[in-house]
Amino acid sequence: MSRIVHVTGARPNFPKAAPVLAALRGRAEQVLVHTGQHYDDRLSRVFFDELDLPEPDLNLGAGSGSHAQQTAAVMIGLEQVFTERRPDLVVVYGDINSTLAAALVAAKLQIPVAHVEAGLRSFDLSMPEEVNRRVTDQLSDLLLVTSADAVGHLAREGVPAGRIHFVGNPMIDTLLRHLDRFDPAAARAEFGLPESYLVATLHRPANVDEPEAAGELVSVLHKAAERMPLVIPLHPRGRAGLQKAGLDSSSGVRLLDSLPYTGFLGLVRGAAAVLTDSGGVQEETSVLGVPCLTMRPNTERPVTITHGTNRLVGVDGVLTALDEVLAEPARPRPAPPEQRPPLWDGAAGPRIAQVILDWLAAR
């Protein structure tokens, strides 16, 4: 059987990788590498327990640091792994530093790369993820895309059509598989919440790193909390800056540590609306049918606007949009299949597996 190395490293990777690993089980020799880019158990270990992911064969323990330090540490570790294991294919997920590092090392060693979630573009090079996405796609042999707009982006960048495969979104496979475990009533009981509440998630550098931007964001969140209690599972990134800006000084704001996968989505499923700067949350809320207000000037996931519940509002427009959302009739939850983006149907993992196996067989 062909040998495939899967490289994961952070919370967003794990729900994407789980369906692919499951669909390839018994059909290829698989090696799962966890780079350790996210090393907090709440962002890493718990996902392996909850998503039925196999225990990683290797954990590189890369840890934190600047972008250059982190990427370099992952590259050094992966070079040894790829040299020793000599895979027939390296599969990378998403747009984190580990994704870029794996693609660079594999390309230097002339090992083919498959990129799951290829072709997404925000066209904002101030976002580290945008740099990672663009470079990874240029180095990849198989580009496995989640939405039709991504196909167009890759075509305009000169990627040959035969390398591009529209397979759907494997993260949605994971969400739909575990949908019955997302229990809003349990979340309300655990955190002492009323029937109606808001959820916010925040971690983008543009929102949380600079004191002025963090202060503006905190002011908006406090005003949102005057409308309805606001719960914020706070990512370790940005915690200090947001708290220094006074995030926890409002009685309407409830700060939580990062939550496990099912606990977080149970909280989100019951929310009146979600305020976020996360790409993955834009996708999850679209399928759950929860209104989503994205506090960014752009998004690499426009399909969540055209075929989902997402609105791109920036920080300045959050409160106006929130008032509009709260005045609207309730939506079906989860969203009916016909209201979801194309191929977000729970079968992306098997489609990805088949593309990979067919490509390896043809070689």
CA–CA distance, 51 with 262 (Å, rounded to integer): 9
Closest Cα to residue 17, out of 261, 203, 204? 261
β-strands 142-145, 113-116 pairing? parallel
Omega before 260 cis (within 30°)?
A: no
CA–CA distance, 7 with 119 (Å, rounded to integer): 18
Closest Cα to residue 334, out of 166, 198, 181, 228? 181
β-bridge mates for residue 31, sequence order: 5
Closest Cα to residue 198, out of 165, 226, 231? 231
178 is catalytic: no
β-bridge mates for residue 28, sequence order: 25
Q: Taking CA 168 as the corner, what is the angle to CA 233 and CA 112, rounded to the nearest 5 degrees?
A: 100
- Catalytic-role residue among 38, 203, 222, 307: 203
CA–CA distance, 89 with 29 (Å, rounded to integer): 11
Q: Which residue has the tokens 């704001």?
A: 253
Q: Is the dihedral of CA 346, 15, 93, 298 positive or negative?
A: positive
CA–CA distance, 53 with 19 (Å, rounded to integer): 9
Residues forming the active site = 203
